[in-house]
Amino acid sequence: MGGMGDEGIKEKVKEFPQTPGVYLMKNAAEKIIYVGKAKNLRARVRSYFAGAGGHGAKTRLLVQQIAFVDYILTNTEVEAFLLEASLIKKHRPRYNIRLKDDKSYPYIRVSVADRFPRLYLARRVKKDGAVYFGPYTSGAAVWGTIRFLNRTFMIRDCKDGFFASRARPCMTHQIGRCTAPCVGYVTEEDYRKDIDAAVSFLRGNDKKVIKDLSGRMKAAAAAERFEAAAKIRDSIEAVRKVLERQAVVNDTSEVDQDVVGFHGDERGTLIETIHIRQGRVIGNRRHFLPLLDPASPEEDAREWLTSFINQYYDENIVPDELLLAVDLGADLTCLLAAVLRERGGRDVSVRFPTDNNGHKLLDMANANAKSHFAAYVSKSERKQLGLEEIQRRFKLEAPPRRIECYDISNFQGRESVASQVVFVDGAPSKDDYRRYKIKTVTGSNDFASMKEVLGRRFRHDEWEDPHLIVVDGGKGQLGMALEALKEVGKAHLPVVGLAKSRIQGGFEDPEIAATEERFFLPGRQNPVTFPVGSEAFQILVGIRDEAHRFAITYHRKLREATSLESELDFVVGLGEKRKRALLKRFGGLEEIKAASVDEVAEIHGFNRVLAERILLQLSESASEFSGEFSESGGGEEAAEPVEGD
């Protein structure tokens, strides 16, 4: 579809309102390639077409591809900021700065809205009435902190369904690590004190936590409850030991701070965000923005840093104070503070530090950014060498920056599913992952399933075409992939089949004989192989393994949705009425499996023999389930390409 042309766009822009809003620039295919915000829509958009003399190279390239410009009005400039972040996240425009994490960072979630709250690991911050803390550096750190808090303050760690069905305390209470709120052994008021103490600890109010615990210990001792006093004493000691291991940057601070530094060159910029809570460093996050040179006169640090912050705090906890490595100026600083106030629900201080302590924190953030930049660039350069090796071995026109891999999974021929996993520049791009339910194939027919999935994927232009397609399987899967791509007009896309060999030796080339992984190319008899330790091998096998993991995870999720009813159907003597009673008591499959024979037997209408039969059946079906997934596509070296109908 053709665009309006520069002159047509200029005439259209003359009709734009001079009010706040968001503008959406689209290419000739009407795909959004850039999203921007403006206080004055007409003036801001018109500046793009006022002449290329004042534009940088990236902006000039953007303008060359603009065919249409739309806009969305907002009431204020703050609303424009908020909408811009949402639209970038939704449409992933090519020319916008987009945040891509190497991993999802964990938070501690405290369900304070519950009658008897508990602590969870969460990967997203939601507006659900809970209190969140973080982000932390790893899931292991979060689980360690949760275990420490549960044991120190005797907080329940059971699931809600298990909690609601208890008739007597579980083992956790019996070993002295829970006050058993499930059966009323502790009042809601006293349990809330334990939760408040845990929250105070997470907020960094360590002095208050120790003071409150000391008061409770003395009160217990005065009442001659010496065992309780001893447990509180142990909790105080545990808190003090944990505090000794935390890095303290300001022991007098009572605010939550985030410090944003960066470092980069012509290869890109790494932004480092350090999270400080009540003077203690709890974690840091880093984002790499490729081809963004902070020293280039074409790059305005105020613009790209503001865009980064706007997107970053769309899903992260907003601190009390934000320290930046760039002075944004009075107007932009006030505007950003207003945006963060809207997101966080409270006033936020945004500033370029001028005090000594602020400079030290910023120096720390910049030093971390510099160190992590060197490591990131080194890793990126290794990935690039691996992609260049793939290009040479597969005789591609260019290094495959975007690789897509597909895998089929089924359980004894039932409920077939497929996964689409995407690597960009040799690393996972999880936003582009997709899962498919097989709709047109009955039974275990992996060839036909692969053909269906590729046909569905490439009939849509939601994503750009990959530079390489990897299918999990040998010549049979490769033939089906070629057939599917031909039918949708994508026969020009490079495809390779990846399969493990069942043949021991049998190849004259010692490199082929030395590895089980075989890469099959169209029109070539013998497979291509890579040295096991090479970066190219790690990229290709890594995307195959990730596709397999993603498919299996989806398959298990679908099966678990219906597994309880189907597994219980095989238990002799368990009708619909008893199944409903079992669900009402325990809430779910995992809770039933965790129950004892006595707990099941005491349900009205049950007995010990039936309880033993139920738990035995669930145990056996779980072990069968874990080993019967089909690794579709593996070991198909001898298969011939399948001809079309």
Q: Sort 407 into a burial class: Cβ within 10 Å, 0-12 / 13-18 / 19+.
A: buried
Q: Residue 22: is its pLDDT beyond 60? A: yes
Average pLDDT of the residues in 193-212 = 80
- Dist CA 506 CA 639 (whole Å): 16
pLDDT over 60 (residue 2): no
CA–CA separation, 139 and 160 (whole Å)? 22
Q: Is residue 304 scored above 70 in pLDDT?
A: yes
The whole-number pLDDT of residue 228 equals: 74
Domains 256-375 and 402-552 share a fold: yes
Predicted model pTM: 0.68
The mean predicted confidence, pLDDT, of the chain is 82
Reference 494, options 407, 418, 390, 384; nearest CA is 390
Report which of 533, 457, 461 is spatially closest to residue 495, judged by C-alpha positions. Answer: 457
pLDDT at 103: 54
**pLDDT tier, 260 (very low <50, low <70, confident <90, very high otherwise):** very high
List 437's β-bridge partners, or say none.
Answer: 417
CB 585 within 8 A of CB 603: yes
Higher pLDDT, 116 or 500: 116
**pLDDT score, position 555:** 64
Residue 346: burial class (beta carbons within 10 Å; 0-12, 13-18, 19+): exposed
Maximum average pLDDT range among 6-20, 387-401, 506-520: 387-401
CA-closest candidate to residue 376, choices 454, 289, 298, 456: 289
Q: Is the pLDDT of residue 430 over 80?
A: yes
Token duo for residue 168: 């007597």
In the predicted model, is pLDDT for residue 175 greater than 60? yes
pLDDT at 101: 54
pLDDT at site 638: 30
Q: For residues 2 and 263, which has the higher predicted lDDT (pLDDT)? A: 263
Helix (H, G, I), strand (E, B) or coil at 192: helix
Q: What is the mean pLDDT of residues 105-120?
A: 90
Check the CA dihedral 14-17-18-23 and report its sign.
negative
**Residue 635: phi, psi to the nearest 5?**
65, 40
Question: 294 or 506: which carries more pLDDT confidence?
Answer: 294
**Tokens read off for 443:** 């039974």
Q: Which of 448, 455, 501, 453 is nearest to 474 (CA)?
A: 501
Question: What is the model's pLDDT at position 443?
Answer: 66
- Alpha carbon distance 454, 471 (integer Å): 10
Average pLDDT of span 447-466: 85
Closest CA to 18 of 82, 73, 67: 73
Contact 271, 325 (CB under 8 A): no
Residues 6+ apart with CB under 8 A from 132: 107, 108, 109, 110, 122, 125, 317
Alpha carbons within 13 A on the beta-carbon side of 482: 20
Report pLDDT for 624: 46
pLDDT of residue 598: 79
Task: Determine contact, residues 27/267, Cβ cutoff 8 Å.
Answer: no
Distance CA 291, CA 309 (A): 19
The amino acid occupying position 137 is T
Domain boundaries, the chain: 5-91, 107-244, 256-375, 402-552, 562-626
Sequence-ordered list of residues with C-beta below 8 angstroms from that of 480, at least 6 positions apart, any chain: 447, 448, 450, 451, 454, 471, 642
Q: Which CATH superfamily does the domain covering 402-552 fall into?
A: UvrC, RNAse H endonuclease domain (3.30.420.340)
Instruction: Give the range among 85-99, 342-356, 528-542, 551-565 with minimum mean pLDDT.
Output: 551-565
Rg (CA), the chain: 29
- pLDDT surpassing 80 at residue 489: yes
Share of the chain above pLDDT 70, in %: 84
For residue 367, the model assigns a pLDDT of 95
pLDDT at 245: 53
Minimal CA–CA distance to 71: which of 42, 103, 108, 110?
42
pLDDT at residue 466, rounded to an integer = 94
Q: Which two tokens stand for residue 74?
A: 């907002």
Give me the mean pLDDT over the 588-598 stretch.
76
pLDDT at 640 over 60: no
pLDDT of res. 630 = 37
Q: What is the pLDDT of residue 541?
A: 92
Under DSSP, is residue 612 helix (H, G, I), strand (E, B) or coil? helix
Structure tokens at 549: 């993991």
CATH tag for 562-626 (out of 3.40.50.620, 3.40.630.10, 1.10.10.10, 1.10.150.20): 1.10.150.20
Residue 504's alpha-carbon distances to 472, 486, 515, 533, 555, in angstroms, are 20, 34, 10, 20, 32
Which position has the higher pLDDT, 492 or 615? 492
- Lowest mean pLDDT: which of 45-59, 105-119, 299-313, 349-363? 45-59
Backbone angles phi, psi at 97, to 5 degrees: -70, 125
pLDDT (average), residues 437-466 = 82
CB within 8 Å of 35: residues ≥ 6 apart: 22, 23, 24, 25, 84, 87, 88, 91, 93, 96
Q: Rounded mean pLDDT of 291-313? A: 89
Sign of CA dihedral 223, 227, 233, 239: negative
At 83, the pLDDT band (50, 70, 90 cuts) reads: very high
Percentage of residues in the chain having pLDDT higher than 90: 36
Say what the pLDDT of residue 594 is: 76
Q: What pLDDT score does 626 carry?
A: 42
Supply the DSSP symbol for 426. Answer: T
CATH 3.40.50.300 fits 256-375, yes or no: no
In DSSP terms, 496 is beta-bridged to 470
The per-residue pLDDT for range 321-346, each reduced to its tens digit, is 999 999 999 999 999 999 999 998 88
Q: What is the structure's pLDDT at 172?
A: 83
Q: Quickly state the pLDDT bin for 244 (edges 50, 70, 90).
A: low
Predicted confidence (pLDDT) per residue in 414-424, tens digit = 668 889 999 99
Whether residue 472 contacts residue 408, with contact meaning beta carbons closer than 8 Å, is answered with yes
Pick 563 or 226 by higher pLDDT: 226
Q: What is the mean pLDDT of residues 513-522?
A: 77
**According to the model, what pLDDT value does residue 642 have?**
28
The more confident residue out of 71 and 244 is 71
How far are the Cα atoms of 255, 347, 350 from residue 334, in angstroms, in the given order? 20, 11, 8
Region 83-111: mean pLDDT is 83
Q: How confident is the model at residue 401 (pLDDT cuts 50, 70, 90)?
A: very high
What's the topology of domain 5-91?
GIY-YIG endonuclease (3.40.1440)
pLDDT value, residue 581: 82
Is residue 364 pLDDT above 90, yes or no?
yes
Per-residue pLDDT, 365 = 95
